[in-house]
């Protein structure tokens, strides 16, 4: 099944940052390489690795072409995350399966400079809404190491359901690591948007604080 690509998704965080999901461009090579270099230590503990040595190296242009081809063929949504116009990470929906399953798995990373600012949850919400409402998928899952506290907070904020432990699920940083699986299906949102649900939840404490303030 083919998918409309390229696609751009956007929203604004509660703090006013403009978050955009779009295709990674060839012209972004220097920016992407600098971002990866600056965040190498930050990401090393959590990113997938090859269990055996890999000969050769895929160049940036080849990577971008691969992403675009996989997107057009309906197997992946390979978004780059930008915050206020600057590259800040990546958000992919990969392993997309059609037929009777209609499912995909989300994986992402964000720069240390924007961590904890709502960028990851708003990006995952945008991706999930697009997968459900535009692509017509039924299920989106996220697999997270039990010791990755930051990513666990992201799925908790968005209400992803904990579906249990996958033992030695993925090779990361030199070893096979356990992961917990979290998922949402279209029924969980009852026709609504995940982005709206999250923004409403974030806004509730502010509303309660405002309502409890001094009266004139």
Q: Which two three-digit tokens encode residue 24?
A: 């990674």
1 in a structural domain: no
Tell me the pLDDT tens digit for each residue of 82-110: 999 999 999 999 999 999 999 999 999 99
- As a whole number of angstroms, the distance between CA 207 and CA 204 comes to 5
Q: Count structural domains, the chain.
A: 1
> Which CATH number does the domain housing residue 84 bear?
3.40.630.30
Q: Is residue 153 part of a domain?
A: yes
Low-confidence residues of the chain: pLDDT under 70: 53-56, 204-216
Question: What pLDDT, on a 0 to 100 scale, did the predictor assign at position 56?
Answer: 64
pLDDT at 212 (0 to 100): 39
Q: What is the pLDDT of residue 204?
A: 66
Angstrom distance (rounded) from CA 127 to CA 194: 10
4 is a domain residue = no
* Structural domain contains residue 203: yes
Q: What is the 3-state secondary structure (H, E, C) of the chain?
A: CCCCCCCCEEEECCCCCEEEEEECCHHHHHHHHHHHHHCHHHHHCCCECCCCCCCCCCCHHHHHHHHHHHHHCCCCEEEEEEECCEEEEEEEEEEEECCCCCEEEEEEEECHHHCCCCHHHHHHHHHHHHHHHHHCCCEEEEEECCCCHHHHHHHHHHCCEEEEEEEEEEEECCEEEEEEEEEEEHHHHCCCCHHHHHHHHHHHHHHHHHHCCCCC
pLDDT computed for residue 55 by the predictor: 62
Place of tokens 């055996």: 52
Report the pLDDT value the prediction gives residue 206, as an integer from 0 to 100: 45
Tell me the C-alpha to C-alpha distance, in Å, between residue 16 and each of 80, 87, 126, 150, 189: 19, 17, 16, 21, 25
Q: What confidence score (pLDDT) does residue 53 get?
A: 66
Q: What is the pLDDT of residue 205?
A: 54
The percent helix, strand, coil of the chain (3-state, each to 5) is 40, 30, 30
What residue numbers bound the domain in which 181 lies? 9-208
- Please give the DSSP secondary-structure letter assigned to residue 204: H
Whole-angstrom Cα distance, residue 106 to residue 121?
12
How far apart are alpha carbons 187 and 15 in whole angstroms?
Answer: 30
Q: What is the pTM of this model?
A: 0.91
Report yes or no on 216 lying in a domain.
Answer: no
Tokens of 181: 């699986």
Q: How far apart are CA 110 and CA 119, in angstroms?
A: 8
Q: Give domain status of residue 33, yes or no.
A: yes
Q: Are 108 and 115 in contact (CB under 8 A)?
A: no
d(CA 47, CA 108): 9
- Predicted local confidence at residue 51, as pLDDT: 87
Is 3 within the bounds of a domain?
A: no
Is 138 inside any structural domain?
A: yes
């Amino acid at each position: 099944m083919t998918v409309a690509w390229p696609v751009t998704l956007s929203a604004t965080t509660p703090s006013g940052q403009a978050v955009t999901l779009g295709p990674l461009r060839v012209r972004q090579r220097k920016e992407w390489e600098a971002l990866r270099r600056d965040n190498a230590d930050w990401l090393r503990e959590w990113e997938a690795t090859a269990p055996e040595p890999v000969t050769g190296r895929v160049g940036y242009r080849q990577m971008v072409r691969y992403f675009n081809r996989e997107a057009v063929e309906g197997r992946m949504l390979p978004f780059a995350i930008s915050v206020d116009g600057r590259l800040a990470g990546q958000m992919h929906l990969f392993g997309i399966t059609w037929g009777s399953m209609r499912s995909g798995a989300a994986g992402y990373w964000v720069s240390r400079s924007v961590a904890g600012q709502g960028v990851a949850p708003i990006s995952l919400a945008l991706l999930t809404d697009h997968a459900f409402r535009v692509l017509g998928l039924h299920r989106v899952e996220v697999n997270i190491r039990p010791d990755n506290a930051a990513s666990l907070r992201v799925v908790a904020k968005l209400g992803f359901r904990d579906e249990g432990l996958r033992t030695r699920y993925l090779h990361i940083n030199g070893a096979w690591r356990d992961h917990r699986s979290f998922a949402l299906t279209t029924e969980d949102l009852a026709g609504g948007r995940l982005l709206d649900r999250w923004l409403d939840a974030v806004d509730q404490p502010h509303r309660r604080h405002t309502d409890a303030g001094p009266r004139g």
